[in-house]
A = this chain, B = another copy of it.
Amino acid sequence: MTEKENRDARTRAADSLVSIYERQIIDGTLAVGMPLPPEREIMQSFSVSRTVVREAVQTLSAKGLVEARPRFRPVVRTPGYDAAIEAVGSVVNRLLTVPGGVRNLFELRIMMEAALVRGAALHADKHHVARMKQALADNEAAISDSQRFFETDVAFHRLLYEVPDNPVLPPIHQAYTDWLSSHWTKMPRDPERNHVNYRAHCRIFEAILFRDPDAAEFVLRDHLDDAWNQVRQTFEET
């Protein structure tokens, strides 16, 4: 806003518009759920053509600040960690195609989840424990149904992301499962393997019950490493 749109020929008018509305959205001038002004109104306000207005709106939409359903007025989106995840979707998908990409992301997940089970072992309260117990039961009940087992498997791991009361974490878990799911579902699955995974979950749970972070981390790493070895066979990297 200091020198803003002096239009140096090296700045795009659309970009200026984007940053203007970005600010308005961030500082709350444009509240959540509020629609952006009509395009023709914007073009008159800033004396720009409709072309730049539309480009600006498109960009705001791509950045995840507004939701622009076709034919509808773009509305300011709820600030959420899920919007952030969505915004990186394209780039991450691309990263997964470069050599070692899947491996790198999965190792990050292992690292985070190891930290999470340590935290769970130290801080999980009765409520969390009860939910994990339930999740384990669901998990066991689905051993014979690989599809359902996969879902309960994901659900069990998700609980780990809910123990710290940090709203950033659940979307991260969602992101991991979304991004890795295409590789994950290719993993061979059968009741025997499901049973192995179920037992691993049980051991993780027990370690948490015993408030033993080292054991919890060890078992979890073992569990995820094992899973990785299953997955890696579906594509040959290094």
Please list the residues of chain A having a beta carbon within 8 angstroms of any beta carbon in chain B.
Answer: 9-12, 14-15, 22, 25-28, 51, 54-55, 58-59, 61-65, 70-71, 79-81, 83-84, 87-88, 90-95, 97-98, 104-105, 107-108, 111-112, 114-116, 119, 164, 166-169
Q: Do A98 and B115 touch across chains, with their CB atoms under 8 A apart?
A: no
Chain B nearest Cβ from A192, distance in angstroms: 32
**How many copies of this chain?**
2
Q: Do B55 and A90 touch across chains, with their CB atoms under 8 A apart?
A: no
Q: Do B51 and A79 touch across chains, with their CB atoms under 8 A apart?
A: no
> In the complex, A65 Cα to B89 Cα: how many Å?
11
Q: Do A108 and B169 touch across chains, with their CB atoms under 8 A apart?
A: yes
Q: Do B94 and A88 touch across chains, with their CB atoms under 8 A apart?
A: no
Contacts of A94 in B (CB 8 A): 25-26, 65, 79
With contacts A108-B169, A115-B112 known, is A88 near B84, CB below 8 A?
A: yes
